[in-house]
Amino acid sequence: MTDLLQILLNGVALGSIYAIVALGFVLIYKATDVFNFAQGEIMMVGAYICYTLIVHLGTGYWLSFFLTLCFCFAFGMAIEFLILRPLLGKPIFSVIMVTVGLAVILQGSVSLIWGDDIFNFPKLFSDKTLRFPGVSLKPTDIWVFAATFLLVIGFYVFFRRSKLGLAMRGTANHQDTALLMGINVKRIFSLSWAIAACIAAVGGICYANVLFLAPDMSHIGLKAFPAAILGGLDSIPGAIVGGIIIGVCETLAGGYLDQLVGGGIKEITSFIILIAILMVKPYGLFGKEKITRV
């Protein structure tokens, strides 16, 4: 029972990181109706920028975090303006393939600039493990939990109460109607990508704090995509629930099933769940089913 509780706790910690990255998928989809398959690579770039500011430039941790968010905000807007905006009105498949190409470019650029070595990210909190009856918890895990909780509450209120959030929802629902209502759709697209890039940076910094910093950390984006699908691509709370479910299922598979088959089950668990949810409930647990009348 003790091992099970520890595995579940580790799964929630991992799932919280998935949830943060999945929030970026949901945000862009809610505003632009586009899947961004470069979210994991943007996350990786944000983590490397923060690492460089702290280690090589000697900037303080919190100032580096703020500057990284500013960089990613501008980076997201630049991606939308230079790459995505010329594709307005083009088939959605073309836009998706562009994000795949962007992911490959960012992956190669990081390897070219920083190399393929694994780095230990500077820790904000002590590595001292907090021990409770039956389980142990690291301060970084608590930080990840807190960041996830604050992001969920913040964006839920943002989409429900703010004018900009409502404009994003209206744009995602029907772009032509949003234009007729006076919404600047191009501005909404730019802000969506900028905010999603900031969210990705937060996820990257959390991941690097918990584990490590390396070019292959971008694969977290592929793991977070099933989380977004599971929760529902238009649901903020769904991204959190989906991320935690995926994280817990992965750690359970790694803790129990991998021992039976010699390994490998953990790495494919999220995609097994993805296939299953698409077959049974394509719109996810909390997604809204779209009905087209003809």
Looking at residue 126, what is its pLDDT?
65
| 19 within 8 A of 189, measured Cβ to Cβ | no
Establish if 49 belongs to a structural domain.
yes
Residue 98: exposed, middle, or buried by beta-carbon count in 10 A (0-12, 13-18, 19+)?
buried
Establish if 121 belongs to a structural domain.
yes
Establish if 291 belongs to a structural domain.
no
Q: Is the pLDDT of residue 59 over 70?
A: yes
Instruction: Tell me the pLDDT band of 294, cut-offs 50, 70 and 90.
Output: very low
- 260 or 37, which is more confident: 37
Establish if 23 belongs to a structural domain.
yes
User: Count of domains in the chain?
Assistant: 1
- Give pTM, 2 decimals: 0.86
Range of the domain at 44: 2-127+138-280
The percent helix, strand, coil of the chain (3-state, each to 5) is: 75, 5, 20
What CATH number has the domain bearing residue 213?
A: 1.10.3470
- 147 or 66, which is more confident: 66
Q: What is the pLDDT of residues 208-259, one digit of tens each?
A: 888 788 888 888 888 888 888 888 887 778 888 888 899 888 888 888 877 7
